[in-house]
C-alpha cells in the first residue's frame, strides 16, 4: 500500500491508498539552485549600506534567503539588517534567525525609504496571473486601485500563470515607491530563481514560473495539497491551489482541497457571502472592491461544473454555505470517493498545488 505524505498546516499527514486506487502523483521535476548559486545571486544585494528587510509572506525559501544574507553580513563584518514582518508571521521569522536578531511588526508603507527591501516568494494568482511583491503591495496598501485591477480581469474564471492586464495595475502602483525587492521562485525541492531590483521589475522572474506548468489528461477526481503552510493558513490562500488545477478535472468531477485554514476564512468577500451580505450577482460589476471578490466569483463559476471538497478546521456551517463537501481528515476523503464513485475508482494526487500549474492535454 503506497504511503503518500501531504502538507496540512505546519505538519504533514499521510494518505494510505491502495495501489489499484492511485492513478497518478502529479509533480514537477524542475531544477533548483544549490547554495553556492543562491549566494552568488544574492551578491546583487549591497549589504554594505543600511538595509531593512520586509517579508509579507513566510516560506522555507524566504527563511533560507534571510539566513544566507545574515551569513554574508557576518563574513563582511557589517551590521545585520533589521527585519520587519506581518504580525501573524513575526514569531515564525524570529524563530529561525539568530536569537539577537531584531524582528519588528510591519505597519505600513507611508514613510517608506530607499533602504527598504521586500523579500517574497512568487506564486500563481487567479486575478493577476502571478502573486508577487507588487501584487501584495497593491492588495494591502492600494485598495482604492484594486477595483480597477478587478475590472480588468479576463472572464470569470482564474487566469493563473497568464499575462493579465490586472498585473499592470500592480506594477504601476509599486513603481510609485522607491524600494527594492528580492523576488524568489521556489518549489518543494528548493529555490529555482532569484531576482533583485525594483518590485515592478523583479516581476519578470515569472518567466521561470511558467516552467512550472504540466499538461496532463483530465481526471475525474483530484486530491490537491497546497504543498506548504503559507499557502493554506486561510481558505482564501488555499483556493489558489484549486485555481491552478481545476482545468484538468472532468465535468461533474470532484476536486478535494487539503487546506488547514487555521487562520480562518481570510477573505472579506467570502465572509460576507457566508453571512448573507454579499450576492454572487454583485460580483459581476461591483461599485466597490471587497477583498477576495475574485475568489468568490471563481468558486461560483467552477462549481457549475465540478464538486469541491475541503479538508480543514473550518466549521461545517461555512463549507455548507459555500456548497462544499466538508471532510474531517484525509482518510475520510478516500472513503468518500470509493463509496460514491466505486471501489475501483482511481484518485490522482497533487502534493504541491500552490507551485504547479496544470493544463489539459
Within the chain, what is the greatest distance between any pair of CA atoms?
65
* pLDDT number for residue 108: 76
How many angstroms separate the CA atoms of 197 and 180, rounded?
A: 5
* pLDDT number for residue 311: 97
The CATH number assigned to the domain with range 35-210 reads 3.40.50.11440
Ranges of residues in the chain with a pLDDT under 70 are 1, 110-113
Residue extents of the structural domains in the chain: 3-28+217-360, 35-210
How many angstroms separate the CA atoms of 196 and 104, rounded?
A: 23
**Helices within 32-174 (DSSP H only):** 35-42, 60-75, 90-95, 133-141, 143-151, 166-174
How many angstroms separate the CA atoms of 71 and 5, rounded?
A: 33
Neighbours of 315 (CB within 10 A): 11
DSSP for 201-263 reads HHGGGHHHHGGGEEEE--EEEEEEE-SSGGGTSSHHHHHHHHHHHGGGEEEEEEEEEE---TT
Alpha-carbon torsion, ordered 40, 43, 47, 53, to 10 deg: -80
For residue 190, the SS3 value is: strand
Alpha-carbon torsion, ordered 302, 353, 250, 247, to 10 deg: 60
Question: What are 154's three cell numbers?
Answer: 479576463
Q: Considering the entire predicted model, what is its pTM? A: 0.93
* pLDDT number for residue 75: 93
How many angstroms separate the CA atoms of 123 and 243, rounded?
A: 12
Cβ(160)–Cβ(125) under 8 Å? Answer: yes
DSSP for 21-45 reads GEEEE---------HHHHHHHHTTS
For residue 308, the SS3 value is: strand
**Beta-carbon contacts of residue 251 (< 8 Å; ≥ 6 apart):** 305, 306
Q: Which CATH number fits domain 3-28+217-360: 2.40.128.630, 1.20.59.10, 3.90.226.30, 3.30.70.260?
A: 3.90.226.30
* pLDDT number for residue 165: 96
* pLDDT number for residue 2: 75
- Sign of the Cα torsion 153, 159, 163, 168 reads positive
How many angstroms separate the CA atoms of 317 and 314, rounded?
A: 8
| Owner of C-alpha cell 504540466 | 214
Amino acid at each position: 500500500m503506497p504511503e503518500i505524505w501531504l502538507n496540512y498546516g505546519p505538519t504533514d499527514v499521510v494518505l494510505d491508498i491502495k495501489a489499484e486506487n492511485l492513478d497518478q502523483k502529479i509533480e514537477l521535476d524542475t531544477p533548483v539552485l544549490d547554495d553556492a548559486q543562491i549566494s552568488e545571486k544574492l551578491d546583487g544585494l549591497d549589504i554594505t549600506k543600511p538595509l531593512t528587510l520586509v517579508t509579507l509572506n513566510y516560506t522555507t525559501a524566504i527563511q533560507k534567503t534571510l539566513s544566507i544574507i545574515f551569513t554574508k553580513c557576518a563574513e563582511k563584518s557589517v551590521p545585520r539588517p533589521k527585519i520587519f514582518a506581518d504580525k501573524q508571521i513575526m514569531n515564525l521569522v524570529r524563530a529561525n534567525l539568530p536569537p539577537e536578531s531584531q524582528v519588528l511588526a510591519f505597519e505600513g508603507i507611508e514613510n517608506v525609504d530607499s533602504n527598504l527591501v521586500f523579500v517574497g516568494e512568487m506564486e500563481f494568482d487567479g486575478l493577476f496571473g502571478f502573486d508577487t511583491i507588487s501584487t501584495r503591495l497593491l492588495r494591502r496598501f492600494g485598495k482604492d486601485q484594486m477595483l480597477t485591477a478587478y475590472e480588468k480581469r479576463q472572464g470569470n474564471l482564474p487566469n493563473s500563470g497568464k499575462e493579465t492586464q490586472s498585473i499592470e495595475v500592480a506594477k504601476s502602483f509599486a513603481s510609485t515607491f522607491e524600494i527594492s525587492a528580492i523576488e524568489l521562485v521556489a518549489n518543494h525541492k528548493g529555490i529555482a530563481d532569484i531576482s533583485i531590483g525594483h518590485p515592478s521589475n523583479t516581476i519578470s522572474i515569472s518567466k521561470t514560473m511558467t516552467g512550472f506548468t504540466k499538461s496532463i489528461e483530465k481526471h475525474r477526481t483530484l486530491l490537491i495539497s497546497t504543498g506548504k503552510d503559507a499557502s493554506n493558513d486561510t481558505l482564501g490562500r488555499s483556493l489558489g491551489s484549486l485555481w491552478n488545477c481545476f482545468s484538468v478535472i472532468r465535468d461533474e468531477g470532484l476536486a478535494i482541497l487539503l487546506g488547514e485554514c487555521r487562520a480562518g476564512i481570510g477573505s472579506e468577500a467570502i465572509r460576507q457571502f457566508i453571512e448573507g451580505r454579499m450576492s454572487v450577482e454583485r460580483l459581476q460589476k461591483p461599485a466597490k472592491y471587497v477583498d477576495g471578490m475574485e475568489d468568490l466569483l471563481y468558486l461560483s463559476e467552477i462549481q457549475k461544473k465540478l464538486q469541491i471538497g475541503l479538508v480543514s478546521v473550518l466549521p461545517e456551517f461555512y463549507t455548507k454555505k459555500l456548497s462544499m463537501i466538508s471532510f474531517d481528515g484525509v482518510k475520510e476523503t478516500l472513503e468518500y470517493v470509493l463509496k460514491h464513485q466505486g471501489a475501483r475508482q482511481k484518485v490522482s494526487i497533487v502534493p504541491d498545488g500552490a507551485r504547479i500549474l496544470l493544463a489539459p492535454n
